[in-house]
Structure 1
Amino acid sequence: MDSDLATRLAAAAPLAERLHGTDAIEGDAPAASARLDRWRGREPFTDPRHWAARLAAEGIDETLLRRLLAESPRSLGARLDPPEWGAWIDDDADVPVVTGEQNPFFAPVAGRLVYPAVDDVRRALTDLGKDHEVAPFDVEPVVTRLADELLWVVHAMMGRTMALRLALSRARGDLTADDAAGRFDQFMTMTREPGGRRDLFAEHPVLARQLTIAVTAWRDNTIRLARRIVADADDLARTFHDGTPLGTVTAIEAGAGDGHRGGQSVAIVHWGDTRIVYKPRSLAVDVRFARLIAWCNDAGLTLPLRAVRCLDRGDHGWAEYVARESCADADAVHRFYRRQGSLLAILGLLRANDMHAENLIAAGEVPVLVDVETLLQPRLPDDNTQLTPAERLAHTAAAESLLQTGLLPTPVWVNRDGDSVDLSGIGHRPGQRGSIPVPVLTGLGTDTMRVAMDRIDLDTPDHRPVDEDAELHLLDYADDLAAGYEETHRLLRDRRAELSADDGPLAAFAGTRVRVLLQSTIVYGTLLRTGFHPDVLRDGLDRERHLDFLWRRVARTPGLAAAIPAERRDLWRGDIPYFTTDPDGDVLYDSDDAPVAGLAVTPGLPAAMEALRAWDDDHLRDQVAVIRGSLAAATMNTAARFDYPRYDLPTVDGPASADALVEAAARVGDRLAADAYRDGGSAQWLGLSSQMGRNWALGPLTPDLFNGASGVALFLGELWRATGDDRYRTLAAEATVTIRRQIARGGGIGAHGMAGLPGVAYAFARLSDLLEDESLSHAADDATRTTLAETGRDGEFDVISGAAGTIAALRGVHARRPGGAATDAIRAAADHLLRTAAPQATGIGWTPGLIADNDLADRPLSGFGHGVGGIAWALGEAAALLDDDRYRRAAYDALAYETGLFDPAAKVWKDVRDPDGTATICAWCHGATGILLARLGLRDLVGDEAVTGDVAHALTDMRRRGLGLSHSLCHGDAGTIDAMLTAGIVLDRADLREEAARHAAAMLRTTDTQGYVCGLPFGQTAPSLMVGLAGIGHGFLRVADPHTVPSVLTLAVPGAPKRP
């Protein structure tokens, strides 16, 4: 290797390798200022404490870092040892070329690295067979498959850089062939030539280094695996093949899992039709898990479970290959889920996590876990400085529940637009797309190839007990899951003495290593993938800055900072970081088995035994509620429609007194107080909540108004005004402490609509008056300014999650500070609606992204929450507030579209989510209740004659179908009653006000006889406003004093007479 190339390759060195001989650094220090500012300007380093910690982790100060950033290539090359790893770049020997439409085109550019490694593997496999009568490997087919997998890995690592260089070549006019494919071939030929290859890797030396690491690890690990196959052959035959020799290996599927510890990963080895799974780790924990499963079966489980048969070899192991098989019939599917319930109990006991769908195989009617390395998880340092004390209590409760196993449905990786995925062992469903866009190559094989960011389709693992295209409704199996959990819970606690004895199956886990996940492997995988952007492949220090994304979590959990150097080392190796601990120890080990200094953990085995001692009927009830709640959330996330709860509404003689209604609301307040987690002047709840009306999940409440803590706080504030009971005022104020902290740290809430920041601003503006706390008014202004900056990104448009809800919610903030940010945000939201309106056959409309992205309808919806009616109403509000005729005209046109959806025969507005438009509901979110409110609000704009008929139709439908649904505001009686009451006030009709009061009295009676019926499937309750307890209580307060308690259904502004 000549000195010029060696100098260029030296820039690949990471920071740690540059820290010797620093006295000899030469360079222009002022030139480094921009790079240093960029590094220091990223979160969390804007906080000087975190920047100081980052520098201390490397044992350097800012002055030295500045000098390193300024160092010239010649100085760096002179200081460091020659990069012998790059000798292959100057090797001019010929290499094969791959062709065709779907081939790893780029890998031959690194052919002088790749093909010698493949030859080394071929020789090793051949040599291993020399002294065997039956060859252990069918060498050529095995090597061909392994090499093909390696070529694709190399191709993927090079893709983004090659796309950039192709674009530059095209722009310079270097490519002269007649067609796009020819120009691509010309580019590849130029790049494969010695000069082109040298230029590529001299400009991107980090890429060359990472390729060398990956290919070298592949070679060494493949040869190691081959030697282990031969050395373990007799034991493999005894364990998995009835003692009969397995014969010749015909294929090896490498890379069947993430790479750890120098690129080692799971592989599936084929001996003809026989497959055995190789794992490059001890399987001691798997063996003990299998013994525990056998103990449970012997103890009398109704439906026996199955564990994977294992062979532990200390530093590696082998496991049986479990093939997926669909259940034979419907009864078998029910038995499958009962067994799942049993598994949940065992995994809950064992403090398991990461039980996602890829770790579970449906082997007929038996669910089989094929990876149990994350049992008996320790407690990590609990020093999250961004959580309020109450949040910490709530998060701990969730973390100690079945939610932590990863088996129950839950949306993860929720992006700012509300997209998410469910990767859980029970909830992962076919047809999902990743929620986080990833770089993909488009136009491969042509000179128009480029990198696009796209959400990719997710493969469906083998965890479902039915055929891939078969429908599966999880709520149908809730009773089975609960029954299996209950049976196993009782069995384990009835025999807890035997289970936790010194010679029992729990104690046997002592001393076995378990893996510890400090954060999701998706975070690590994303860092690795984005670490191949060409901008961070020119200089190792740029890649170091990229990997400092790891420090972002330190703002939340400073105690985990000690692990970052180990994470960084693993990522530089191309690995997913790997940590372990002993279930009975407090030491965390890195991937080299070295203790992580300064990070002690609380061992998981004593915690599991302690928890088992406390298991009782209350614990059982709470965990069954978690099971049912998670399934209910999954149903709301996946079903286009589902059955809403119903109840029998009794006939009453007359209205309830205002005092009785306030007392009923106070009982709701007392329930919320009893359910609250409170500490340090803050409050939080666990329950079903959502983001922008989607991504329902069971856990700590999000901060929003619709289904989060803001709605609960708003109700408690109104309750304090109605009762004068300081307990409610205190609890409301404590809730706002948590809400403000949630918003300050970002995430969990969108920027638009009733269910976003505008809804929080509405709640804060109202609570500022109720609680006499002016700081809440300022917090409302802050939320409003954030919304204003994000208005143009709204893709939902509707009242719940879009610009229409922004207009409605910010009227309350505008009323306090006319002409401020709220006024600007209302105008921006209305203008956004004008820009995005889609012409229809009659009028205009908008289809929310939630509806369009999931193909729930092929045209705009009717109704208030998600429909055009609510958007028309909001535009009318903007027109009245800002006196803008453009908004008036748009409201007219939107009203014309919705009018066209009225079915005069059925006397309902069609729900276009249903193909024939007949499956309608009558509620605030969809149907007549919300449409009534929209028409009442548009009355001044369009005149009485234009709305009188619709008002009459809506009231008729509400009486016919809008009562007895649930007690909720969104799609229940509280919403119907509120809308009817509002109509009575706006239209000055005493009969409607009296009718609403009678229905409220009937609803009140049923809360005593049937309990609270929230607007959730499967009888679930939630603390929240629109579908939960807070909304039921708010409904009672609204009827008790409608002129003081504004309607939250229209985000009404107090003191705005005769407006809904």
Structure 2
Amino acid sequence: MITYEVHMSDTRESYLWERTYDNTEYTPPKTDTEELKFWNRTMGEEFFKELYTNIPKIQSYLTNQPYETDRGEAARLFNKYECNERGIPQEAADFIAKYESENFIQFYTPYLAAGILRLKHLIVKDDICRPEVYEQYLRSLFTKIQKICIRTLIHEIRQCKVNGELEGKDASGEYEYFIKQVVTGEWRNSLFGKYPVLARSVAEAVELSAQLYAEAVNRLSDASKEITEQICEERTFTYITGIEGDIADSHRGGKSVLKISLDNGMTVIYKPHSLENETVFHELLRQLGNRCGMEMYRMKKVEGSDWGFCECVKHQECACREEMERYYRRMGLCIFVFYLLGTNDIHSENIIAHGEYPVLVDLENIMSAPEEFEAMNITEKVQYFLHKSVLYSGALPSCKWISGGGNVNVSGVGGRGGSRMPFKVPRVVNSRSSDIQIQYVHPVLDPDDNIPVLQGRPADPERYLDDMTEGFKAAYMWALCNRRELQQWTEPLKCVESRYLLADTQRYVMCQNSSYHPALMTDGARRQIYLYTMWYGRSMESKGDRQVVEWEVKDLLNHDIPFFYFISSEKHLYHADGKRLEGYFARTSYDMLLERIQDLNEADMSNELELIEMTIVLQSQAEKELMNEGTEDGGSVAGEFKPDEKNKLLEMAVEIGERLLAGAVNVDGSEKGWYMACVTTDGSLGWMIQPVDMYLYSGVMGIAVFLHLLHEYSGSREFGCAASQLDRQLFAYTDYMRETKADDMASGIYNGEASIVYGYLFLYKRTGNEEYLTYARRHGEIVVRCACRDVNYDLLDGLAGAVYACCLLYECTEDEGWLKCAKEAAGRLIKAAVKTEDGLCWKNAQSEEALLGMSHGNAGIMTAFAALCRVCKKAEYMEAFRQALCYEDKCYDPGLKNWTDFRAVKSADRKLADTVAWCHGAGGILMSRLMSANMEQEELGDLIEFDVKRASAKLAGKCVREGMCLCHGSLGNLLMLQEYCKFTGDKEAEHIRQRNLKYVYEKLKDNDFCLLPQERYNPGLMSGYTGVGYGLLALYDDRLADILCLEI
């Protein structure tokens, strides 16, 4: 006979919200200093002080004030677990025997036994359940209890080991001794006396699990007739053969989705909540599908007021290519409905590919949250556009996280298993030994059923992009032409409840897991205080945040994931228990829906279609690797580009300009903004879609420069108007930055604040408009502030760029103040240098080792010293230039006939990394030498001339690349070769340039600009198609100031 009781009388098990403190003592209370030290270490002194000040019950707890507690229903959940004289139930005994290899399984025996007894007590007709039901229930219960107990049990066995209380020849033997000799009924009582919150949590897990399973069984039994008729296609059933739990998070008192297997071979899904969301959503899909000639899947279900059963839709292959095409047309229609309603959180587990039908399941976030977003500038306005776009749903491919874990795609359309997630989760290692411990590891995603399959092969969504966009466009055009009918269809959405995510689920899970630490299980106050880490990122002065955090903490204490929702026609935020925050939102979700219906237009449809295309193509290419390598094709072209054909270059540049304007987002009526595909270059093959920034490299300033040039060369008023509009955006940015006195931005001259100065000076020299010079001065003040804090030293992003910009300002204004600023920044640059026996170099965030080359390395930094030497003949800067040059030349690889690319981590990879581009390798190094050719020292002149010869030979031999952009593509290399030819008059190099120009022109002309995805979806000047247009203009007119060598 096994008898065991868990007594619930220790008041320390209560949480702060259940306590009433008596603070009437006349003597001032003393703070428990040891407890205070514990919390300062655990949460940080500053943060805990804020908690202590704002939450009176924490003060009462730390001063050991007496309290009373009435746990109400929580205390009466389960006051006693007892296995009678018959011993533990057979189901529990069988389970323990089957899973005896699980860690500490013997410890859990009484609670698993109690769980079976409690479940059977709650089930009205327990003869409906086959033994497999109880096994799966115990598996679920065991998982829940283990999550609660494992940290404490590991702590206890390791303490026993430290104290020399274990016997055994090795760690495994010591574990067996602990389980068989230490873990007794008396020891359990002692353990729960030490950790009363552990006792409470185990009791709650048992009770809530039993309630959930019993509720599902009883409701299925009551609704068996309807389930047979409406879900099982008249196939009767007698028994439940299995219930699978732990397939979704628990909310609202342990409620969670269950998968129930029946003896008729069918499987149904039990959902302990209303199915109204799914019903309304699928009806809207059905009606729209009918209008667009697409029959949508109809889910079989039986529903009550706050519960429902639905069929378990299984993954099924497509029978032919036509079915695959229809699948993606239907998916396009679904994406439109997501876009229209603002549905979000549609990931790979929310879509099941059932033959030619995409079936949507578990729709919690059916309507867009009615959030207010006050956009202050063009970047924020474009961000808001993206927030409201087809990207918001999560259905389209995306890289939600980009990290060393790789390209993580969890989307509904493209998400696949096998991705390594960037966050870490706890995992037990050294199982069944006294060395057992918890490690944190990156989880790997399991495959989901969201990818359609044909002949055993998962689909590549890019192959069906036309079908997807066809479905989206058909739905959009119907809605555009039938607004009134569509609005009538949306009437049932007025009362829909949509989940509102106030924090990532992963944050809740990690916080809850940590709250089961043994140090927090000694007193309920401790566990609750720890969960107040949910205050991070919130304001304690906000009444709304105060209520939200209290609700979150209460849910987490009750072992749930916090759940909030809103009703689409109301402005209130509701908690899972039905309580609400009045007027939390400024408007209703349903009003936003009606507004969106009225705002549908063909220009918006084009933007949304482009975003769909971008996500599908970028993800497909990311999986195949987004590569930009050299190519030998250019050397095989017949003939040269003829000088009398130069107008063709201008015509092509104008075409690119027209495409640029067509791809703009019109916000606030006529104001234009752009978004771009940003591709990582760290080997993780990640990408994201984001607004362009304000800088020259890939932002507004670069686009403005191009549009001004197009206006000048083509005379097009449209380009001139757009350029003027961007000028206003840039002026507003400068004014804002001056007003806020920002000083924490990058200071670089291509991708930082100095790039704004350079752009203004470029336009000033080009137009003679003094306003540009005025704003260059104003923005120069911002550069100086940012340079004081910048810890990057390169030309592109960092301090070297600030030095160069100040030198340009000095040359344009003859204001000695700018020269002084340049000298101060140069001094910091010299101070930050790493001194080696080969010369000077600079470390940066781009690589573990100091880099070479123009963008992030010595070549670019040298140009800043060269510019300073040009205006200030000071030996210190000449010497810094010389040492930087010597270091870079020491890294020349005679085998490659190129400079080493230290971005490659392994030495073997460096031997193969024969990079020739502006940013890295011989191309940018050639430019830096040409920019420094006026150095007066004869020794430096000889070194520069030698570098020019070998760098130009390399560039001429590897001028053409797969990509076309300025930074690391063929157009950039052509411009650098053009600069070399202008500088030296090398006729052979000029012939090579003209041959390569013909090849590049023909390739662009014949293949719709033939750009890599990361260029085609990037309007940036240095890395995107705008730069291709600029390059064509510079080749059309070789007198045009070259931005690659910072001419103005």
Give the TM-score range, shorter chain: 0.7 to 0.9
Q: Report the CA distance shift for 1:498/1:943 in structure 2 as closer, same or farther (over 3 A).
A: closer
Q: For residue 488 of structure 1, report the CA deviation from its aligned partner.
A: 2.0
Which residue does the alignment assign to 1:827?
A: 834
Please state if 1:590 is matched with 2:585.
no
Superposed CA deviations along residues 218-271 of structure 1, whole A, max 9, x for unmatched, are: 122111112111111111111112334222100000122111111111111000
Q: In the alignment, residue 465 of structure 2 is paired with which amino acid?
A: A
Please state if 1:397 is matched with 2:385.
yes
Contact 1:709–1:739 (Cα < 8 Å) also in 2: no
Q: In the alignment, residue 498 of structure 1 is paired with which amino acid?
A: E
Which residue does the alignment assign to 2:103?
A: 105
Which residue does the alignment assign to 2:411?
A: 424
> Structure 1 CA distance, aligned partners of 2:511 and 2:447?
24
> Structure 2 CA distance, aligned partners of 1:329 and 1:865?
53
> Structure 2 CA distance, aligned partners of 1:950 and 1:1001?
22
> Structure 2 CA distance, aligned partners of 1:745 and 1:269?
59
> Structure 1 CA distance, aligned partners of 2:506 and 2:212?
23
Residue ranges of structure 1 left out of the alignment (5+ in a row): 56-60, 130-134, 792-798, 838-845, 850-859, 903-908, 1056-1060
Please state if 1:564 is matched with 2:549.
yes
> Structure 2 CA distance, aligned partners of 1:205 and 1:549?
22
Contact 1:353–1:377 (Cα < 8 Å) also in 2: yes
> Structure 2 CA distance, aligned partners of 1:344 and 1:701?
25
SS at match of 1:453: strand
Please state if 1:977 is matched with 2:977.
no
Count of aligned pairs = 970
Pick from 118, 121, 144: which aligns with 1:120? Answer: 118
Q: In the alignment, residue 675 of structure 2 is paired with which amino acid?
A: L
Q: For residue 585 of structure 1, report the CA deviation from its aligned partner.
A: 2.7
Contact 1:716–1:732 (Cα < 8 Å) also in 2: no
> Structure 1 CA distance, aligned partners of 2:67 and 2:105?
28
Q: Report the CA distance shift for 1:199/1:259 in structure 2 as closer, same or farther (over 3 A).
A: same
- Taking structure 1 as the reference length, what is the TM-score of the superposition? 0.75
Q: In the alignment, residue 501 of structure 2 is paired with which amino acid?
A: L
Superposed CA deviations along residues 639-677 of structure 1, whole A, max 9, x for unmatched, are: 3146999999994526979x9899979969994996475
Which residue does the alignment assign to 2:242?
A: 251
Q: Report the CA distance shift for 1:23/1:221 in structure 2 as closer, same or farther (over 3 A).
A: farther
Which residue does the alignment assign to 1:15?
A: 16
> Structure 1 CA distance, aligned partners of 2:200 and 2:107?
14
Q: For residue 1030 of structure 1, report the CA deviation from its aligned partner.
A: 5.1
Which residue does the alignment assign to 1:857?
A: none
Q: For residue 359 of structure 1, report the CA deviation from its aligned partner.
A: 0.5
CA RMSD across the alignment: 5.8
After TM superposition, list the pairs within 5 Å mapping 1:270-349 onto structure 2. Answer: 270-272=261-263, 273-301=265-293, 303-349=294-340
Pick from 205, 228, 236: which aligns with 2:227? Answer: 236
Superposed CA deviations along residues 322-373 of structure 1, whole A, max 9, x for unmatched, are: 1102223444333322221121122222321111110000112221112223
Which residue does the alignment assign to 2:824?
A: 817
SS at match of 1:367: strand
Pick from 136, 140, 147: which aligns with 1:156? Answer: 147
Q: Which has the larger radius of gyration?
A: 2
Which residue does the alignment assign to 1:906?
A: none
Which residue does the alignment assign to 2:212?
A: 221
Contact 2:268–2:312 (Cα < 8 Å) also in 1: yes
SS at match of 1:109: coil
Please state if 1:772 is matched with 2:776.
yes
- Taking structure 2 as the reference length, what is the TM-score of the superposition? 0.76
Q: Report the CA distance shift for 1:63/1:475 in structure 2 as closer, same or farther (over 3 A).
A: closer
Which residue does the alignment assign to 1:1023?
A: 1019
Which residue does the alignment assign to 1:951?
A: 952
Q: For residue 766 of structure 1, report the CA deviation from its aligned partner.
A: 5.0
SS at match of 1:609: helix
Contact 2:656–2:1025 (Cα < 8 Å) also in 1: no
Which residue does the alignment assign to 1:653?
A: 643
Superposed CA deviations along residues 114-140 of structure 1, whole A, max 9, x for unmatched, are: 431222113444x514xxxxx4211x2
Q: In the alignment, residue 397 of structure 1 is paired with which amino acid?
A: F
Q: For residue 734 of structure 1, report the CA deviation from its aligned partner.
A: 3.7
Superposed CA deviations along residues 679-721 of structure 1, whole A, max 9, x for unmatched, are: 99x9964332346676322243468875566866898999999
SS at match of 1:184: helix
Please state if 1:528 is matched with 2:526.
no
> Structure 1 CA distance, aligned partners of 2:331 and 2:397?
13
Which residue does the alignment assign to 2:31?
A: 29
SS at match of 1:354: coil
Which residue does the alignment assign to 1:579?
A: 564
> Structure 2 CA distance, aligned partners of 1:1037 and 1:777?
32
Pick from 138, 141, 148: which aligns with 2:132? Answer: 141
Q: Report the CA distance shift for 1:775/1:45 in structure 2 as closer, same or farther (over 3 A).
A: farther
Contact 1:406–1:425 (Cα < 8 Å) also in 2: yes
> Structure 2 CA distance, aligned partners of 1:704 and 1:193?
69
SS at match of 2:958: helix
SS at match of 2:397: coil
Please state if 1:450 is matched with 2:437.
yes
> Structure 1 CA distance, aligned partners of 2:372 and 2:453?
41
Contact 2:555–2:561 (Cα < 8 Å) also in 1: yes
Q: For residue 564 of structure 1, report the CA deviation from its aligned partner.
A: 3.0
Pick from 457, 464, 467: which aligns with 1:480? Answer: 467
Contact 2:14–2:69 (Cα < 8 Å) also in 1: no
Superposed CA deviations along residues 262-295 of structure 1, whole A, max 9, x for unmatched, are: 1111111000321001111101221222322332
Q: Report the CA distance shift for 1:298/1:13 in structure 2 as closer, same or farther (over 3 A).
A: same
> Structure 1 CA distance, aligned partners of 2:551 and 2:210?
24
Q: In the alignment, residue 323 of structure 2 is paired with which amino acid?
A: A
Which residue does the alignment assign to 2:599?
A: 614
Please state if 1:64 is matched with 2:56.
yes
Contact 1:830–1:887 (Cα < 8 Å) also in 2: no
Q: In the alignment, residue 952 of structure 1 is paired with which amino acid?
A: A
Contact 2:515–2:530 (Cα < 8 Å) also in 1: yes
Q: Report the CA distance shift for 1:471/1:934 in structure 2 as closer, same or farther (over 3 A).
A: farther
Contact 1:434–1:457 (Cα < 8 Å) also in 2: yes
> Structure 2 CA distance, aligned partners of 1:727 and 1:493?
30
SS at match of 1:500: helix
> Structure 1 CA distance, aligned partners of 2:96 and 2:799?
58
Contact 1:310–1:317 (Cα < 8 Å) also in 2: yes
Contact 2:640–2:994 (Cα < 8 Å) also in 1: no
> Structure 2 CA distance, aligned partners of 1:557 and 1:474?
48
Contact 1:381–1:560 (Cα < 8 Å) also in 2: no
Please state if 1:355 is matched with 2:346.
yes
Seq. identity, %: 19
Q: For residue 150 of structure 1, report the CA deviation from its aligned partner.
A: 1.6
Superposed CA deviations along residues 141-183 of structure 1, whole A, max 9, x for unmatched, are: 2111110122122223333444444444444444442212122
Residue ranges of structure 2 left out of the alignment (5+ in a row): 1-5, 714-719, 762-772, 806-820, 867-876, 934-939
> Structure 1 CA distance, aligned partners of 2:557 and 2:681?
38
After TM superposition, list the pairs within 5 Å mapping 1:371-390 onto structure 2. Answer: 371-382=362-373, 388-390=376-378
Superposed CA deviations along residues 460-510 of structure 1, whole A, max 9, x for unmatched, are: 111001279946543222211111111222233334333323xxx321333
Q: For residue 810 of structure 1, report the CA deviation from its aligned partner.
A: 7.7
SS at match of 1:154: helix
SS at match of 2:495: coil
Contact 1:932–1:955 (Cα < 8 Å) also in 2: no
Between 444-453 and 205-214, the greater mean CA deviation after superposition: 205-214
Contact 1:668–1:1033 (Cα < 8 Å) also in 2: no
Which residue does the alignment assign to 1:494?
A: 481
Which residue does the alignment assign to 1:413?
A: 401
